[in-house]
Amino acid sequence: SAEIIDGKKIAQSMREQLKERIANLQGVTPGLAVVLIGDNQASQTYVSMKQKACENLGIYSRLIRMPESVSESDLLSTINELNEDSTIHGILVQLPLPAHIDETSVIEAIIPAKDVDGFHPINVGRLQTGGEAFYPCTPNGIMKMLEYQGIDLTGKHAVVVGRSNIVGKPMGQLLLKESATVTYCHSKTADLKAHTKQADIVVAAAGIHNLITAEHIKEGAVVIDVGMNRDSEGKLCGDADYDSCKAKASAITPVPGGVGPMTITMLLFNTVESAERFSKVK
């Protein structure tokens, strides 16, 4: 039976390290601005989790709420003010945005040095070509988990299921950086199982409950489950059939308590990192 990768525990230990880094900032308080538009329930929940995590660590968090009807130009000028605000080191615009606002323009309005989500094309590009960058929180959190578990990626075959800009694509890039051989699967992949069965590491990020079963993995594979779905009873569950995969894998992340806690931790990590860069501690 697989070792269970405890995301909560790893996140907690990373947060302790961040506390020390904040203490070393000599009076500078890292600041995160979160822009929340409209009243999407899930977005509100995510934002309040992020704010609470900031408070617990001594990171200043500022919530800017705007109505669903906000104009794109008002949103862009708010972002510009935050770009100029020296008390703010990270800016995050909670997605999704209302349909009348162009997501690309909003993401590109945030200066790359404060883009702690790692979605700006400069940061996306630097993930590929090198240089100082912020990496997207979910895949970067997964990398930290794998490192913490002592899972060596060199020469391993990693199969990433999903190709979104926030999870799948950057996940593959980060794995490649650590010298894994990377395969991407997605909704148009002809034979998903044929690929995942070959993987030493499967990262499931499709958002489909039970997409990955024991039949999809080889004996001893590492299964990283990014999915956040609801089962028929409304319970939070991942993309992997947890019980059957656990019996066959060498290590697996649970849902909840796996990737989720790492994602928020990496947002804190990027914010602290940004404060260090701005105050030249680093």
Binding flag, residue 79, ligand NAD (CB under 6 A): no
Phi and psi for 267 in degrees, rounded to 5? -65, -40
Contacts of 234 (CB under 8 A, 6+ apart): none
Check residue 159 for interaction with ligand NAD (CB under 6 A): no
Distances (CA, A) of 181 to 58, 97, 100, 156, 175: 39, 35, 40, 6, 8
Residue 259 interacting with ligand NAD (CB under 6 A): yes
Shortest distance in whole angstroms from residue 272 CB to ligand NAD = 19
Name which of 2 and 240 has its Cβ closer to ligand NAD: 240
Which element (helix H / strand E) includes 3? strand 3-4
Cβ nearer to ligand NAD, comparing 91 with 161: 161
Q: Check residue 205 for interaction with ligand NAD (CB under 6 A).
A: yes
Q: How many whole angstroms separate alpha carbon 92 and alpha carbon 34?
A: 5
CA distance 8 to 259: 9
Return the half-sphere exposure (C-beta side, CA atoms, 13 A cut-off) of residue 208. 8
* Helix (H) or strand (E) run with residue 54 in it: helix 41-57
Is residue 58 part of the contact set for ligand NAD (CB under 6 A)? no
Q: Looking at 115, 117, 225, 241, which residue is catalytic?
A: 117
Stretch touching ligand NAD by CB under 6 A, among 69-77, 148-156, 174-182, 201-209: 201-209
How far, in Å, CA of 124 to CA of 165, rounded? 9
- Report how many residues bind ligand NAD under the rule CB under 6 A: 25
Name which position in 112, 162, 170, 254 contacts ligand NAD (CB under 6 A): 162
Please report, as residue ranges, which positions from 109 to 148 form the binding site for ligand NAD (by CB under 6 A). Answer: 138
Nearest residue (CB) to ligand NAD, 168 versus 254: 168
Contacts of 131 by beta carbon, 8 Å cutoff, 6+ apart: none
**Of the listed pieces 79-87, 110-118, 146-154, 225-233, which binds ligand NAD according to CB under 6 A?**
225-233
Q: Of the candidates 221, 110, 215, 224, which has an alpha carbon nearest to the alpha carbon of residue 161?
A: 224
Can 188 be counted among the known catalytic residues? no
Q: Is 117 a catalytic residue?
A: yes
C-alpha 54/C-alpha 62 separation (Å) is 10
CB of 83 to ligand NAD, least distance (A): 25
Q: Does 270 bind ligand NAD (CB under 6 A)?
A: no
Contact set with ligand NAD (CB under 6 A): 138, 161-164, 166-168, 185-187, 189, 192, 205-208, 211, 226-229, 259-260, 263
Q: Which residues are catalytic?
A: 50, 94, 117
